[in-house]
Structure 1
């Protein structure tokens, strides 16, 4: 029997306080009620009558354009993230038309007391791994302990508030939580993939390998052609096919991903019909490159799909572990040297807005001078913060002129470098008092970034900085980033609709020197740590907003990055063979594609026209 999340069950009339109120529910929401009742049949954005079949063939969407590892839970190697997306089931799954709600998948129900001192998941008896073995509480215990001790630093930071994990029965697992773990944390645990403990009897958890993983999700690994192609096809015996969270989902027989080291080649392959869908990240390509014959004949469509999620925290991150970059004046000078206005107008066709905030396009973004609840949070740390945090508006980067050399910005940058003790010598190079040249190494694996970053490094060179932007092998870049062997890094992090414990991984002191962590800047600041904990432990969305605004304001004052750009939508090009729900998923485009379907009639029409082969 299940209950609505706000329906509280009194276990005993005269129970002790710790047992007085325990919620048992089919779903969980950090703040607010659930939209879907216990007897819901499918999500509103799902089409329960969606046709089945066909292949969703697309360009690899995430990060490094190569892979040599099928273990997605370690920092070693270049993993194929699609393995985690299609092969692994979790205890709960997000509803993408609610900001922070999850509903049971492997877990039939969730239990938790009002103080969130623990959370219990009751596992569905018929949940199975691909080898037919039942999913048990012992698998959840193994998963959390392994991720917490040996997993990627992201998981280790995320799970730092887990005290113990106990299998109370084969189908009931209890996770005891540290005080202040936060109302979003049960959802973070619910989203974790559940790993089969028996698979790791013979497979090292913390190593890179190309062994086909054992999991429990809707798809099996079908084809591997590393580092170019990976393909997943439906498990005909998938245990959760008819659950409400899966109705209208997983409609394609297969998902295939094409990896391209050179995206120009990737676009040419798309134009030739070698794959069917691509998210376009290059403004110039979107504006000028979709004039090939298939697009002219409307066989290929360009779609601009809105996304209500926060914009990615995309920027050029400064590595504060490097001595030269520990001086905030140097970092400010580098920011002046990046001419966003010229870049946007000349290279991006004026399509983007500047990233000012780490929570861009949300109510969590700090604006103006701090006031009300945000000010009350900051007041607790007044003696540890510079006065301008209280007296000046939240920091916004200098808005220059759209010319290759903004003289005003370059003069400001030069003065800041002079003030920091980096003086231009007779050879045009800046040196400090010890005679050391100001050198900056800016490696990346994306050749498409060259046209953006080369003008930036040219500006740095003109200031007397020995700066180089190098496109290197993706595997080499992964290894260097894991050990923080760089001065600058162009990276984008996804921001959750309801931020929580993952903030520690990006900005927390414990992650600053943890090899492979997401804290690229190496920021380690007690006030930032305290504000993260305020956000994590927020009891309602108002408290979360106040804490994240304060965190945003303080992070921006520290100049740990050069904010890049955002669009607020996704540029998607598709061959016209897909159907899509009338009400698409509001909060997650990438997983929203899982609710599309293959339109056989449209596909056959393109085959008959000679536009596509019958490979899909």
Structure 2
């Protein structure tokens, strides 16, 4: 699944089939449930009053000012065209709402009840009575049908891959909608459909869904757009008479009366705005900033608080990726060579204050990561493709290259040159050149200056091989356009993972998506073995089978050298002006800022201190 949560369960003999979505015996009737869970029974019973990580009595009111980078020109995040404003998801309700404390569990939200048929070929959602749009009209099953069909036809290519096994959606009554499946093997599909954000059919009639939208759309969720300045700022106002404010899935959340986002072109400028108090809450993703950038008067006076919160969500993979549609990167040996001279240990010590762990898997920080040599069921899967895989996949443990951190990576450079010579590249006049006289040169495309200090030392390492690489930094909207069109040589990409990998893997890795603009197969992988293993992931009938298939997929991707893995952290780094209250604990698998609130006493004290100071 696309949501990012963590599986803490290990692969062990005798683990049961995925219980909460197990269907009734053949011939039995449909099963009605209040929640779905892929990996275990839902922790919260029917009739629960609120999620355990919220304060159900949190006060409503006050304002929070946040930041975003880049700009925006649309309120439609579901299409390729345009750059959508941040947090537009607050405008709409989803059929189910994810529990941020559990791996792959969703509870009734817009839909109060879920019906699972005995034949495993569908799911039915019954919408809650009283669910309504902000204009007062009821939310209907027709809205659900229209949303699904519109997104599949006009939305980003992701939806077509994610929902590929849905054969039909039918409104059986005003509040009952049924999705029918083309297979009985896709166990997570019901949860995926529960994530559907329902859009108002009547509001979109007469409007072109495929075009960017700068008219505030009609929603149903806890917030509506109050005002905006295109590309510069947007403010969301809490809906006082929001129909779902007392649902167990909403209690203790959506507490701010106003959420305002200010846009900045540069992360450094946004940090300075935070120091000045123009921004009130910040997550810090730059290790150098966290180590050195928060020694300013407001911190020393106690006006600004900081915290690191440990989380359990899978961290996926962030890394340099090469566009394999370019002939330059088509050879596996070339891609391996480029990874051998990436010196993470030196960067971690000299740039990141040793704040990060090296990423070694596409499923990092989860039980789905490949480890050691393939064994058991994973090995059985890989043996099926033995003649089509590099021999190392079955014979050797994959390890990312490592150095002593001195910055003198001679062994990596020596091995890289050997691989490049095998691939037909030699150094002539200090330039790496092939038999046709083509020089090895390429561009590293970035969407902001933060990664320039990572790319530049890497470029110096490449220059020692005779490779001429250069950095090009562009603004986020232009970057997104180029990425959607696969117009890049090398860039930094993030492949997020969840506690239940599944249908999204089609969009990440399969041949069918490699040439579909806007897909997440940004690498351009076209490997029939990967295609087949992805289908095994999607259709895994049990947790052990899912784990084995994911580990096999991970191992094949790693040995394909499709990326140069970078790093990850297992904590959220937060800084905020001391006007907020927050629950006693954070959920295990997300930050959940929506559960914070403005503490009126703290706000007054802060204002008085700043005035006196």
**1:13 match:** none
Distance apart, 1:550 and its partner CA = 0.9
SS of the counterpart of 2:164?
Answer: helix
**Contact 1:508/1:523 (CA < 8 Å) preserved in 2?**
yes
Structure 2 CA distance for partners of 1:448 and 1:6, relative to 1, 3 Å: closer
8 Å contact from structure 1 (residues 7, 23) kept in 2: no
Asked if the contact 1:8–1:24 (Cα under 8 Å) also holds between the matched residues in 2, the reply is no
- Aligned residue for 1:530? 532
Contact 1:76 1:208 in 2 (8 A): yes
Task: Report the more deviating stretch, 371-380 or 502-511.
Answer: 371-380
> Residue 81 of structure 2 aligns with which residue?
76
Tell me the SS of whatever aligns to 2:58: coil
Report the Cα distance in structure 1 between the residues aligned to 2:560 and 2:102, rounded to whole angstroms: 33
Q: Indicate the residue corresponding to 2:192 in structure 1.
A: 188
2:590 is the counterpart of 1:601: no
Q: Deviations over 1:154-211 (max 9, x none)?
A: 1121111110111111111111112155211111110010011112212211111211
Give the direction of change, closer, same or farther, for the CA distance of 1:217–1:429 in structure 2 (3 Å limit): same
**Equivalent of residue 214 in structure 1, options 212, 218, 232:** 218
Which residue does the alignment assign to 2:423?
A: 420
Question: Partner of 2:506 in structure 1?
Answer: 504
Aligned equivalent of 2:363, options 344, 352, 359: 359
Contact kept? 2:134, 2:218, Cα under 8 Å = yes
**Number of the residue aligned with 2:543:** 541
Distance across 1 between alignment mates of 2:186 and 2:321 = 28
Structure 2: distance between partners of 1:175 and 1:191: 13
CA distance in 2, matches of 1:337, 1:470: 20
**Change beyond 3 A, Cα 1:7–1:376:** closer
Report the secondary structure of 1:442's partner residue.
strand
The aligned residue for residue 387 of structure 2 is: 383
Deviation at 1:612, TM superposition (A): 10
Output the CA distance in 1 between the equivalents of 2:507 and 2:34.
29
Aligned counterparts of 1:187 and 1:245: Cα–Cα separation in 2? 16
Query: How many aligned residue pairs are there?
Result: 595
Matched, 1:39 2:31: no
Q: Distance in 2 between matches of 1:176 and 1:229?
A: 41
Are the aligned partners of 1:92 and 1:102 in contact in 2 as well (CA < 8 Å)? yes
Q: How does 1:424-463 map to 2 (within 5 A)?
A: 424-426=427-429, 428-463=430-465
**In 2: Cα distance, 1:178 partner to 1:230 partner:** 42
Task: Report what 1:610 is aligned to.
Answer: 610
Aligned residue for 1:467? 469
Report the secondary structure of 1:111's partner residue.
strand
* Segment of structure 1 superposing worse, 501-510 or 563-572: 501-510
Task: Output the CA distance in 1 between the equivalents of 2:457 and 2:550.
Answer: 34
How far 1:8 moved relative to its partner? 9.6
Alignment of 1:99-248 (within 5 A): 99-180=103-184, 182-248=186-252
More displaced 10-residue stretch of structure 1: 229-238 or 64-73: 64-73
8 Å CA contact 1:329–1:420 kept in 2: the answer is yes
Over residues 513-563 of structure 1, what are the superposed CA-to-partner deviations in whole Å (9 max), with x where a residue is unaligned? 110111110112122122111111122222211111111111101000010
- State the Cα RMSD in Å: 1.8
Contact 1:405–1:459 (8 Å) recurs in 2 = no
Tell me by how many angstroms 1:318 deviates. 1.3
Distance between the aligned counterparts of 1:360 and 1:176, measured in 2? 34
SS of residue paired to 1:610 = helix
Asked if structure 2 preserves the Cα contact closer than 8 Å seen for 1:305 and 1:571, the reply is: yes
1:7 shift after superposition? 11
Residue 294 of structure 1 contacts residue 611 of structure 1 at CA under 8 Å; is this kept in 2? no
Measured at CA, do residues 612 and 451 of structure 1 come closer, stay the same or move farther in structure 2, by a change above 3 Å? farther
Determine which of 55, 62, 72 is the counterpart of 1:67. Answer: 72
Aligned counterparts, 1:211-290, within 5 A = 211-290=215-294
1:545 aligned counterpart, secondary structure: helix
Task: Return the alpha-carbon distance in structure 1 between the equivalents of residues 423 and 339 of structure 2.
Answer: 15
Partner of 1:409: 412
Distance 1:113 1:77 in 2: 40
SS of the residue corresponding to residue 245 of structure 1 reads: coil
What residue in structure 1 maps to residue 10 of structure 2? none
Question: Do the aligned partners of 1:606 and 1:612 also contact (CA within 8 Å) in 2?
Answer: no
Paired position in structure 2 for 1:49: 57
The change in CA–CA distance for 1:21 and 1:382 in structure 2 (over 3 A counts) is farther
CA distance in 2, matches of 1:98, 1:30: 10
Match in the other structure for 2:3: none
Q: Tell me if the contact between 2:185 and 2:539 (Cα under 8 Å) persists in the aligned partners.
A: yes
Which of 2, 19, 34 is the matching residue for 1:26?
34
Q: Cα distance 1:509–1:261, how it changes in 2: closer, same or farther (>3 A)?
A: same
Q: Tell me how far apart the structure 1 counterparts of residues 230 and 317 of structure 2 sit (CA, whole Å).
A: 30
Q: What TM-score, normalized to structure 2? A: 0.94
Residue 300 of structure 1: which of 293, 298, 304 is its match?
304
* Change in CA separation of 1:7 and 1:338 when aligned onto 2, cut-off 3 Å: closer
Seen in structure 2, the aligned counterparts of structure 1 residues 350 and 524 have a Cα distance that, compared at 3 Å, is: same
Match of 1:14 in 2: none
